[in-house]
Amino acid sequence: MDKPEKISIYCFSGTGNSAKVAGWMQEVAGERGLPCEVINIGSRTSAPPEKPEHGELLVFTSPIHGFNYPPLMLKFLLRFPRGRNRVVLMNTRAGMLIGKFITPGVTGIAFYLTALILVLKGYRIQALKAVDMPSNWISLHPGLNHPTVVYLHQRNLERVKRFANRIYDGKPFFRCLLEVYDLLLLPVAAGYYFIGRFFLSKTFVASADCNLCGKCLEACPVKAIKLVDNRPYWTLSCESCMHCMSYCPSKAIESCHGSVALFVLGWNLLMVWLLSQIPVVKEWSAEFPFLMWLARYLVFLGLFSVWYYLIHHLMRFRVVERMIVFSSLTHFRFWGRRYRALKKF
Ligand SMILES: Cc1cc2nc3c(=O)[nH]c(=O)nc-3n(C[C@H](O)[C@H](O)[C@H](O)COP(=O)(O)O)c2cc1C
């Protein structure tokens, strides 16, 4: 394959991992005297992307969310103009460490789906590369410790630079396709895209430590946070990229595990009661399982949003605020280290 004449790296990043990888790719391009631009699609306006020039290599990089690229990235790729250029698809995913072994994250359907979108637009895929950066999903697991974060940066820096040299020499790279079992995750990825992400968007709260600096509202890549009752409120368009939580200068943003657990418990009790009191619900569930599951989910999400709205307003009372904050795992030191990609790499 020909060597590129110019490189454009389109990047979306919540906590800096994908931006870091884009920066490393740009550094190698610079060392080789190749013109290279990194375009942050998180901060772009809705203006359509420009048509790529002849000889321009396109690189896309973004985190994996729910075994797929996040909606922001997918929408961007769908809007991308048609072309015949070569494309490199990259992602950063949840790397962890056991001893000196980096446990890989899971790409799921991200590469298959986006490669298909781009090929249908006329592009040629040159390479696919997943980079196992430190996981940023601290709503789900305790934040990684500093030595682990440093080690993962060091190892990935070497790997990405090797990869970049290979790509800029015009060589292909498709080792990720060996992870073909990822395709089995299609139903889970669809479940996350159509359902899970909306649920997650309603799990963030701002504690009394919030001083209304407005940084989370400004920096949110999908403008999902607004002020309600004079406190940040997360709308359904939140993509849980963790930017707000990780960059809040007052560390005031929490994942409200306790309130979610209470709601889920209440919901399950309600379901048991409904099934025992209204037999027709049971019959319909057996007869139309998918429709009933969908209806149940929509009611669940609706009630959960109402619950979130109530909690949000009740948090103006100190006692409720303290209960919510102290039942949030992210509030505690053993769990809630905030994660940001390291500047020094
Ligand atoms: C809501 C959410 C969902 C995630 N889902 C996955 C996943 O399915 N597979 C995976 O390997 N990593 C997953 N991760 C981890 C991130 O993809 C990973 O930490 C990534 O490097 C973050 O990149 P960023 O700093 O550029 O946002 C998820 C993180 C979040 C916040």
How crowded is residue 322: how many other Cβ atoms within 10 Å of its Cβ? 13
Residue 14 and residue 139 share a domain: yes
Residue 149's pLDDT is what?
A: 97
Which residues have any ligand 1 atom within 6 Å of their CB?
13-18, 63-67, 92-94, 105-106, 108, 133, 135-137, 240-242, 341
CA of 93 to the centre of ligand 1 (A): 5
Residue ending a domain, choose from 166, 188, 210: 188
Residue 44's pLDDT is what?
A: 60
Q: Could you identify the atom of ligand 1 that is nearest to the CA of residue 20?
A: 26
Residue 155's pLDDT is what?
A: 96
Strand ranges, E, within 123-266: 124-134, 204-206, 225-228, 231-234, 253-255
Q: Is 186 helix (H, G, I), strand (E, B) or coil?
A: helix
CA of 3 to the centre of ligand 1 (A): 31
Residue 178 and residue 98 share a domain: yes
CA of 204 to the centre of ligand 1 (A): 17
CA of 329 to the centre of ligand 1 (A): 19
Q: Could you identify the atom of ligand 1 that is nearest to the CA of residue 15?
A: 25
Confirm whether 252 is domain-assigned: yes
Is 50 exposed, middle or buried (CB count within 10 Å of its CB: 0-12, 13-18, 19+)? exposed
Residue of 41, 60, 65 with the most ligand 1 atoms within 8 Å of its CB, for mutation: 65
CA of 103 to the centre of ligand 1 (A): 14
Residue tagged 């060589």 (tokens): 171
Residue 278 and residue 136 share a domain: no
Residue of 41, 60, 64 with the most ligand 1 atoms within 8 Å of its CB, for mutation: 64
Residue 13 and residue 143 share a domain: yes
Task: Give the residue-averaged pLDDT of 152-174.
Answer: 97
Q: Is 91 helix (H, G, I), strand (E, B) or coil?
A: strand
Confirm whether 321 is domain-assigned: yes
Residue 219 and residue 141 share a domain: no
Confirm whether 337 is domain-assigned: no
- Closest C-alpha among 172, 232, 243 to residue 202: 232
Q: Could you identify the atom of ligand 1 that is nearest to the CA of residue 16?
A: 25
Q: Is 221 helix (H, G, I), strand (E, B) or coil?
A: coil
Residue ending a domain, choose from 188, 212, 230: 188
Region class of 209: left (phi > 0), else alpha (psi between -120 and 50), else beta:
alpha
Q: Could you identify the atom of ligand 1 that is nearest to the CA of residue 92?
A: 21
- Checking if the pLDDT of 281 tops 90, the result is no
- Checking if the pLDDT of 168 tops 80, the result is yes
The percent of residues above 70 in pLDDT, for the chain, comes to 99
Confirm whether 339 is domain-assigned: no
Residue 104's pLDDT is what?
A: 94
Residue 270 and residue 130 share a domain: no
- pTM > 0.85: yes
**Torsion sign over Cα 69, 71, 76, 78:** positive
Task: Give the residue-averaged pLDDT of 202-219.
Answer: 97
Query: Dihedral through CA 266, CA 267, CA 272, CA 278, nearest 10?
Result: 120
Buried b / exposed e along 128-158 (16+ C-beta atoms within 10 A): bbbbbbbbbbbbeeebbeeebbebbbebbbe
Q: Could you identify the atom of ligand 1 that is nearest to the CA of residue 339?
A: 25
Residue ending a domain, choose from 188, 211, 238: 188
CA of 113 to the centre of ligand 1 (A): 17
Confirm whether 246 is domain-assigned: yes
CA-based max dimension of the chain: 73
CA of 215 to the centre of ligand 1 (A): 22
CATH number for the domain that contains residue 26: 3.40.50.360
Confirm whether 193 is domain-assigned: no
Confirm whether 1 is domain-assigned: no
Residue 99 and residue 76 share a domain: yes
Task: Give the residue-averaged pLDDT of 293-299.
Answer: 91
CATH number for the domain that contains residue 284: 3.30.70.20
Residue 25 and residue 47 share a domain: yes
| pLDDT (tens digit per residue) in 120-158 | 999 999 999 999 999 999 999 999 999 999 999 999 999
Are residues 247 and 340 in contact, defined by beta-carbon separation less than 8 angstroms? yes
How many domains does one find in the chain?
Answer: 2
Residue 5's pLDDT is what?
A: 93
Residue 53 and residue 179 share a domain: yes
Mean pLDDT of the chain: 94
Q: Could you identify the atom of ligand 1 that is nearest to the CA of residue 200?
A: 1
Residue 99 or 203, more confident: 203
Residue 229's pLDDT is what?
A: 93
CA of 317 to the centre of ligand 1 (A): 34
| pLDDT (tens digit per residue) in 29-79 | 999 999 999 999 986 656 778 899 999 999 999 999 999 999 999 999 999
| pLDDT (tens digit per residue) in 76-120 | 999 999 999 999 999 999 999 998 899 999 999 999 999 999 999
Residue 255 and residue 180 share a domain: no
Confirm whether 287 is domain-assigned: yes
Terminal alpha carbon distance of the chain = 31
Predicted confidence band of residue 220 (pLDDT cuts 50, 70, 90): very high
Q: Could you identify the atom of ligand 1 that is nearest to the CA of residue 19?
A: 26
Residue 116 and residue 227 share a domain: no
The residue range of the domain holding 146 is 6-188
Residue 219 and residue 81 share a domain: no
- Closest C-alpha among 59, 62, 158 to residue 102: 158
- Checking if the pLDDT of 308 tops 70, the result is yes
